[in-house]
Amino acid sequence: MQTNRRIIHIDMDCFYAAVEMREHPELAGQAIAVGGASGRGVLTTCNYPAREYGVRSAMPVFKAKQLCPQLVILPVRFELYREASRNIRQIFKHYTELVEPLSLDEAYLDVSHHKRRGAELAEEIRAAIYAETGLTASAGIGPNKLIAKIASDWNKPNGQCVVSPSRVAAFMQDLPVRRIWGVGPKSAARLIEMGVETCGQLQAHEKAELASEFGSFGLELHQLCRGIDERPVEANRIRKSLSNEHTFAKNIETLEDCEAALRRQHHELLEDLRSSAADRQIAKILVKLKFSDFRRTTAEIACRQAELDTYLKLLREAWGRSGEPVRLLGIGVRFAETQSGPEQLELAL
């Protein structure tokens, strides 16, 4: 494992809701959520007071209201969040050109070239974000993306965690396998049947055994449970596609609820297309589902318009391929290769 990298993962704290809290100081201390206001809508995110009632992102509004009747639901304002995100990314650029945004509210930073300690840099970056935007961020610092991303969730909100190369083995030993990206309820249940609940226990299983049980994902698990991740931080990749996807805290059981989630994501996709890819010609549109048993399927069609009705048809096609609940929903577009566009992060479906 390469250990000379220093990677910082910055993750903004309940970003959309935090921006709205900043804009609405009169709501201080109240439970706030952002998303569809109608009973058939779903929440995009919520603040920490709302989470204390069990409210979560992607939750239907009617259920959130049942859990927290006093919940204040505010409409989504993507341009406001993008403006805050642009300001935050400008701060990142003061420290490194190797910035890989994952979404509006999180990014990897490779600060390996700095002589200063990663923890010191992360503290300074978080302080600068607060001074510039009034928003708090959490950070993870480690020798690779995997470790940094897990660590950024360790001391949320408004905290940070450092995992040095010498601590990786100990850090992974007792880490629940559920903390590894890609391990959901179904695969976690299968691992429990194998007597595996921690990464240390998973390390006792041979690569061939994991491949037999989980396919190609088993090979990834063999590396990830040891804290091995050689992916570089990649900045300024030419965008070939644009997408958004959401992994649900609780699997979606019905097509109707999946359609409601798709409508929310479609609105966000259109906003992204208008703001960052208005000059690109669409060649295909697609819908991706990951089911609770971890199988994936993609439905796509050659199309020049990202219309909601077409996405809904693709969703129904993909949904019909499995009887399992849905863990992840992604929608996106692929651009025509003959068109050139601005250098942006490619959000791969």
Query: Could you give the residue numbers annotated as active site?
Result: 106
In order, the DSSP letters of 279-325 are: TPPEEEEEEEEEETTS-EEEEEEE-SS--HHHHHHHHHHHHTT--SP
Q: Pick from 69, 67, 39: which is nearest to 55 by CA?
A: 67
CA–CA distances in Å: residue 161 to residues 136, 151, 190, 302: 15, 5, 30, 45
Residue 140, both tokens: 């993870």
Residue 26, both tokens: 């009169």
Q: Are 333 and 282 in contact (CB under 8 A)?
A: yes
Calpha distance 327→346 (Å, rounded): 22
Residue 298, both tokens: 């993609």
Residue 132, both tokens: 């510039």
Q: CB count, 10 Å around CB of 337?
A: 9
Q: Are 32 and 49 in contact (CB under 8 A)?
A: yes
Calpha distance 120→22 (Å, rounded): 26
SS3 254: coil
Residue 51, both tokens: 């989470």
SS3 73: strand
